[in-house]
Amino acid sequence: MSRKVLTLVLIRKPNEVLLGYKKRGFGSNKWNGFGGKVEDNESICEAAIRELREESGLVVSPANLQQVGMINFEFVGDPIILEVHVFTSAMYEGQHFETEEMMPKWFKLQDIPFHEMWADDRLWFPLFLSGKKFQGYFLFQGHDVILKHTLNTVEHF
């Protein structure tokens, strides 16, 4: 199995989270955080900052970006494991705007659209929202069915 290292950034306000509606590519037609592939010449943190800026217009400094999770995703029939590093920040600059790839929108915590998100989100989002750090593994059949998973809280990254 080979690995592809990816980032996911979730911007928070006290009672809201910023999600983006994916308009094209992998995960299209789902609400998600902002992120993507780590390029060869950048750190995971640098990739998270770049992807957030490219997909939402928001700018976050490395000092205000906190890693809260790491999830490995495996898809039946695909030899590549997706290693996703999950970050959050409540401090950012700029105004979000729609891009070719994503349409950002703030959601109140009680209105998070889990029925229009990846199936795993409803399992780890409560840990994220409660301020816990976590590690997980999800095996998917297609893009909608979880065959098995593990999810544990951790002290730090």
Q: pLDDT tens digits for 45-63?
A: 999 999 999 999 999 999 9
DSSP 38: P
pLDDT exceeds 90 at position 85: yes
pLDDT band at residue 157 using 50, 70 and 90 as cut-offs = confident
Percent of the chain predicted with pLDDT > 70 = 100
Q: What is the CATH number for 103?
A: 3.90.79.10
Q: Mean of the pLDDT values across residues 20-40?
A: 95
Task: State the pLDDT at residue 101.
Answer: 92
pTM of the model: 0.96
Q: What is the mean pLDDT of residues 27-32?
A: 95
Q: Give the integer Cα–Cα distance in Å for 75 and 61.
A: 33
Look at residue 18 in the predicted model and tell me its pLDDT: 98
Q: What residue type is assigned to position 1 of the chain?
A: M
**Residue range(s) defining the domain that contains residue 24:** 2-153
Q: In total, how many domains does the chain have?
A: 1
Cα four-point dihedral sign 19, 54, 134, 83: positive
Question: In the predicted model, is pLDDT for residue 1 greater than 90?
Answer: no
Is the sign of the CA dihedral 68, 72, 73, 79 positive or negative?
positive
The per-residue pLDDT for range 110-146, each reduced to its tens digit, is 999 999 999 999 999 999 999 999 999 999 999 999 9
Q: How far apart are CA 126 and CA 145, in angstroms?
A: 19
